[in-house]
Amino acid sequence: MSKLLQTLVNSIALGSLYALIALGYTLVYGVLRFINFAHSDVFTVGAWASFVLATTLGFAVTDTPMYAMPLILLASMAICAGLGIAIETLAYRPLRRAPRLNVLITAIGVSLFLQNVGQLKFVFGTQPQRMPPLIEDRSLVEILGVHIRLVDVTVVLLAGFLLFSLEALIYRTKLGRAMRAVSFDERTASLMGIDVNRIISITFGIGSALAAAGGLLFALKYESIKQSADATWVLLGLKAFVAAVVGGIGNVRGAVAGALLIAFVEMFGAAYFSPHMRDLYVFVILIVVLLVKPSGLFGKAVVEKV
Amino acid sequence: MTPVLEAKGLSLAFGGLKAVDDFSLSVPPRALHGLIGPNGAGKTTVFNLLTGVYQADKGDIFLAGQRLNGKKPSAIAQAGLARTFQNIRLFGELSVLDNVRTAAGVRAKSGLWRSLLRTPLYLAEEDAIVERSLDLLDVLGIAHRAGEQAKSLPYGDQRRLEIARALATEPKVLLLDEPVAGMNTQEKHAMRSLIESLRSRFDVAIFLIEHDMGLVMDICEHITVLDHGVTIAAGVADKVQQDPKVIEAYLGVPDEDEAAS
Amino acid sequence: MSRDPARLLAARVGSYRPNAIVSVLRSAYPVVIGLVIALLLQAMIAPKLGPFYAKLLLDIGIAIVLASSLNIVNGFAGQFSIGHAGFMMVGGYAAALITYYGSIKFGWLAPGAYGVDVHGGFLGSGDALFLFSCVFGGVVAAVAGLVVGLPSLRLRGDYLAIVTLGFGEIVRVLVQQTSDVIDPAKAAGASWLDAAKALGGPLGFTGTPTYVSPTPWLEDASGQQTGHAGIFFTFAIVSILLIACYRLKTSSHGRALLAVRENEIAAEAMGVNTSRAKVVAFVMAAFFAGVGGALFAHEVGVTLNPKELGFQKSIDIVIMVVLGGMGSITGVVLAAAILTLLPELFREFAEYRMPVYALALIIVMIVRPQGLFGIKELWDLAFWRRYVVPLWRKVAGGWLIPRSRQHPPAAIAKDLSSRDDDGAPKGAP
């Protein structure tokens, strides 16, 4: 029973992380109709940036002040938002009217670039690092022998807060309305006076900022940060992407639902079947969804005009 | 005489919107039929239903007696129903000749293995395909451009190439979607005689969508009028021209003030 | 059109088949030429190049196999597959399984030696087992290609990319779960099923026999040959693959495949079974990737391991295809050669290789998305047509230039046309 609860706790925490990354994929797909392969690498940069900030600001000492985490969170979100906007402006915008395949290849190029530059000596290097504990590693409450750690609670609460903020932004503000307009019909939105370029930049910025938050939370929860071209990051990003697709790509609520689903499958599969095959379970879900309902759980099928 | 193309009660709805409602059609062999209607009436949707791009919710389609419901577009094309597209869909990077070759090659007996091994059957068929393709291009008047890239062709020639490509599949019925759209009077004239000549030359029935009323009334033996997915009139040119419902669909009902004055 | 097409076709076939032997020769002679070239490369050129450059030549050959096979899917069919190394891995491991455990079961074991005796001389029984393992690896990879391709090729481009990427990762994960390679002494008694589960795990398949060596003439301390004719095998396969690619591309079936790439909806409407065409291309590509993997697995100095054949390798191959020109056989061959040479020549900058490649990819996509040659071949380029062809015609009388190029379509069109140059109907007084 305690195993069940532990797995449940892990699933929710992991699901929250996946959700933060998945949202970046789904937001960009919503406005540009393309999969930003480089998104998971922004997440990686976010994790590493948090680490670099934490150590340079001297928070590696045991007595970390309360303001340390929020400060680093905001800083890395800002850095990654800037990175995301830069990528869009430099690499994707020139190809706005080009065939889809070209942009996909460019996205892969950007992804590779980020991964491999991140490994260079003068950037992050190839040595795995350990994230300083900005959050005290203590158990908040114990239920059925399972310790609910502060870290996990923070992850879930922070992710939840960001998600609700995003929901409010998209459905209750003028900016959100503009974003939804652009995702429905870019040309008409621009005719209605919406600055499409600005909206797209903002969308990238928001998605990247969320990924950065995910990166910091990931670093806090799992502590070990591997080199940027390591397969673990690729897999993480891939699984978050699967979450977005399963939920219905382009659909914000779907991304969250998909993320939780994927995390549950992965965690329960690892706990009760085989921990080595955790990645496999996620891909099986992807294959099944793509075969049965490619538009995802909450997505709508798009009819192409012939 | 069995009609070469027959549709009975075709209906298709997108969500709540009825795109095509109870559409029926009967085209005898070598006939020239027209489909007209205001923009958005569902004409291209009818084409898409006939060619299998959309699956109809209700109704049947028969090609020379063979039932086509539920078949893939490639199977329908192989059965003998070919089409052109409203927004030209050529294979841009390929040459003009290659555009026609790909369609002509569909009827070939030699498959992948024979092409890789270059068997005599394959070589002979390839030769025949190239010759037939050049023949078709010549009939359509663009043989002199055989080696050029399709996307570099002038607009009128692109439309001709689309027709040549469709004819290469040896169809029994040819669907033309706005074949003279965007052409000047001279080009339209040439196209008009060309379309009429195709029927006997290639033993094919033609069903076309057009907005140019002059052309449609002139050459079509039978015209179906569509408005908001519903067939509002069908018959010979004169009858359709004078049908009040058709006039209303195109020109609208006179204003009450206007009618009074 | 009142002439009977069947009779005409039969007459035509007759003109192409004076007798069976001639038609077989006509169909096979390019392959024979390819084999001769491969032999020349191995026997004459490689020794002159010395060990370093011979190994480079070998690596270039394998890169060409992988890049050209991916070109069939990404270039000809226009689909976006980024898990090609996964098929390479499948083929490589399947082949290693056959040669390693097979050699042991045949009793060619050299007790206590690293690697297993590469039995028999050039084209001896060891080579036969090796070639069989290459084909076996290709077939297994082709089956994998069918399993992956059949459901996913009807998905849109981005999704296919993700599925193929996932496939590559799954194969890697699965291979990492296998147990260590069984010791030669115990392996003789083991069943094939046990052998299939013992593929070396994360450390790799240690002990694969080294059939693919660039320098088979070199002898080690005990006077034994260190390997077999790697360059010959590799370039034999290169020539078969390139001939297949060329024949595919120039046939109407190949044109139909390119049509699927250009405009899938139109191709489908013209009677091309697009899903079938895409799956066939995918399976064909997977087969050759498997063969490439088999070659790679048996290369001297290579221990087949899952890390080396992951996402990075897939991307390396994709870059070769994209930079060479998706759909261009010559372009991709050139790009594969250049991109294999460059890292070796600039070894000191190894750290910067990937960032530079990545940047190159981005810039090429923005500035010149068709890569080096686009969809055209070397002989389609303007400069080739303007300078090289007339020169060759003068020197060698147009030898080897295909008939259709000697009589371009315009000339045939003129002959067939019912009108003469002035537009008047022919034969008019």
What tens digit of pLDDT does each residue of B24-63 get? Answer: 999 999 999 999 998 888 899 999 999 999 999 999 999 9
DSSP output for C321-334: HHHH-TT-HHHHHH
Q: What is the mean pLDDT of residues C9-21?
A: 71
CB atoms within 10 A of CB A243: 32
pLDDT in tens, A146-177: 777 888 888 888 888 988 898 888 888 988 88
Element (H, E) at B225: strand B222-227
Residue C113 confidence (pLDDT)? 44
More confident of the two residues C374 and C282: C282
CB contact under 8 A, C159 and A294: yes
DSSP output for B6-27: EEEEEEEEETTEEEEEEEEEEE
CB B28 within 8 A of CB B3: yes
DSSP output for chain A: -HHHHHHHHHHHHHHHHHHHHHHHHHHHHHHHSS--TTHHHHHHHHHHHHHHHHHHTTTTSS---TTHHHHHHHHHHHHHHHHHHHHIIIIIGGGTTS-HHHHHHHHHHHHHHHHHHHTSTTTT-SS-EE---SS---EEEEETTEEEEHHHHHHHHHHHHHHHHHHHHHHHSHHHHHHHHHHH-HHHHHHTT--HHHHHHHHHHHHHHHHHHHHHHHHHHH-EE--TTSHHHHHHHHHHHHHHHHH-TT-HHHHHHHHHHHHHHHHHHHHHT-GGGHHHHHHHHHHHHHHH-TT-SS--PPPPP-
Residue C303 backbone phi and psi in degrees, to 5: -105, 115
Query: Residue A258 corresponds to which amino acid?
Result: G
CB C140 within 8 A of CB A244: no
C-alpha C232/C-alpha C41 separation (Å) is 7
C-alpha C124/C-alpha C134 separation (Å) is 15
DSSP output for C367-418: H-TTTTTTT--GGGSHHIIIIIHHHHHHHHTTTTS-HHHHS-HHHHHHHH-S
Sign of the torsion formed by the C-alpha atoms of C123, C128, C133 and C135? positive
User: C383: burial class by Cβ within 10 Å (0-12, 13-18, 19+)?
Assistant: exposed
C-alpha A149/C-alpha B20 separation (Å) is 60
CB B73 within 8 A of CB B89: no
Burial track A14-38 (b if 16+ CB lie within 10 A, e otherwise): bbbbbbbbbbbbbbbbbbbebbbbb
CB atoms within 10 A of CB B196: 14
Residue A133 has pLDDT above 80, yes or no: no
pLDDT in tens, C350-378: 878 888 889 989 999 999 888 888 888 88
The complex's ipTM?
A: 0.90
Residue A209 has pLDDT above 70, yes or no: yes
How many residues does this entry show for chain A?
306
CB A38 within 8 A of CB A79: no
Q: Does A270 touch chain C (CB under 8 A)?
A: no
User: Tokens representing B241?
Assistant: 């021209």
Query: Residue C158 corresponds to which amino acid?
Result: D
Closest listed residue to residue A39, CA positions, set A246, A237, A252, A239: A237
CB B218 within 8 A of CB B212: no
CB C358 within 8 A of CB A120: no
Average pLDDT, chain C: 82
CB atoms within 10 A of CB A46: 31
User: Tokens representing B57?
Assistant: 């919710």
pLDDT in tens, C68-102: 999 999 999 999 899 999 999 999 999 988 888 88
Give the start-to-end residue ranges of the domains of chain C.
30-380, 387-429
Q: Which CATH class is domain C30-380?
A: mainly alpha
User: C26: burial class by Cβ within 10 Å (0-12, 13-18, 19+)?
Assistant: middle
Chains in contact with A via at least 3 Cβ–Cβ pairs below 8 Å: B, C
Residue B114 backbone phi and psi in degrees, to 5: -65, -35
pLDDT in tens, A31-47: 888 889 899 899 999 99
Residue B152 has pLDDT above 90, yes or no: yes
Say which residues have a Cβ less than 8 Å from residue B112's Cβ, sequence separation at least 6: C248, C253, C280
CB contact under 8 A, C354 and A115: yes
Residue C109 confidence (pLDDT)? 59
Q: What is the DSSP letter of B106?
A: G
DSSP output for C239-289: HHHHHHHHHHHHSHHHHHHHHHHH-HHHHHHTT--HHHHHHHHHHHHHHHH
Enumerate the CATH 3.40.50.300 domain ranges in chain B, comma separated.
5-90+153-260
Which of chain C's residues have a Cβ under 8 Å away from the Cβ of B72? 268, 273
The three-state secondary structure class of B103 is helix
A224 bridge partner residues:
A130
Query: What is the dihedral angle through the alpha carbons of A204, A206, A208, A212, rounded to the nearest 10 degrees?
Result: 170
C-alpha C77/C-alpha C264 separation (Å) is 10
Q: Which of C72, C240, C255, C275 to mutate to test the interface with B (most CBs of B within 10 A)?
A: C255
Which of chain B's residues have a Cβ under 8 Å away from the Cβ of C251? 105, 115, 122, 126
Chains in contact with C via at least 3 Cβ–Cβ pairs below 8 Å: A, B
Tally C-beta pairs within 8 A across B and C.
154
C-alpha A10/C-alpha A2 separation (Å) is 12
C-alpha B98/C-alpha A281 separation (Å) is 45
Residue C112 confidence (pLDDT)? 41
CB contact under 8 A, B44 and A306: yes
User: Tokens representing B83?
Assistant: 């089409």
* Min Cα separation B75/chain A (Å): 18
CB contact under 8 A, A116 and C369: no
How many residues does this entry show for chain C?
429
Which of chain B's residues have a Cβ under 8 Å away from the Cβ of C263? 89-92
Q: Does C161 touch chain A (CB under 8 A)?
A: yes
pLDDT in tens, C250-262: 988 899 999 999 9
Q: Does C252 touch chain B (CB under 8 A)?
A: yes
pLDDT in tens, B218-242: 899 999 999 888 999 899 988 888 8
CATH architecture of residue range(s) B5-90+153-260: 3-Layer(aba) Sandwich (3.40)
- At how many degrees (to 10) do helices C46-70 and C230-250 cross? 40
Residue C2 confidence (pLDDT)? 43
pLDDT in tens, A58-116: 766 556 677 778 888 899 999 999 999 999 999 999 998 888 888 888 999 999 899 88
Query: What is the dihedral angle through the alpha carbons of C348, C352, C354, C359, rounded to the nearest 10 degrees?
Result: -140
Burial track C178-215 (b if 16+ CB lie within 10 A, e otherwise): beebbebeebeebeeeebeebbbbeebbebbbbbbbbb
